[in-house]
Amino acid sequence: DLATALNNRGQIKYLRVEFAAAVEDYTAAIECQPGFEVPYYNRGLVLYRLGCFDEAMKDFRKVLELNPQFEDAALSLKQAILDKEEKQKRGY
């Protein structure tokens, strides 16, 4: 389906380190199928790598709302929280 195709295209762009383009594809997949948790997770990973911890945490929380058993999202959420706290401690 279209949402899966957009998510997969986003993965290819992510692997090419084309983060902005990957986020666009993940967002399009979400708009196409809002109950599909995978593109939220993938977009969260990109946002995390870009240091956008609040936005990443929002996506990881949405994944867990849609699928509470998604362990990688739970781990990623915990890591994003820790990294945000560390960034704040260092003052940047």
- The enclosing domain of 48 has a CATH number of 1.25.40.10
pLDDT (tens digit, 9 = 90+) per residue, 9-62?
999 999 999 999 999 999 999 999 999 999 999 999 999 999 999 999 999 999
Q: Tally Cβ neighbours within 10 Å of residue 39.
A: 29
Q: Where are the alpha helices (DSSP H) in the chain?
A: 2-15, 19-32, 37-49, 53-66, 71-90
Q: Are 19 and 55 in contact (CB under 8 A)?
A: no
Q: Give residue 70's pLDDT band: very low, low, confident or very high (50, 70, 90).
A: very high
> Can you give the pTM of this predicted structure?
0.94
**Does 92 score more than 80 pLDDT?**
no
Number of domains in the chain: 1
pLDDT at 91: 83
Structural domain boundaries enclosing 24 = 2-90
Q: What number of helices (H) and strands (E) belong to the chain?
A: 5, 0
Q: C-alpha angle 12/16/19, rounded to 5°?
A: 90
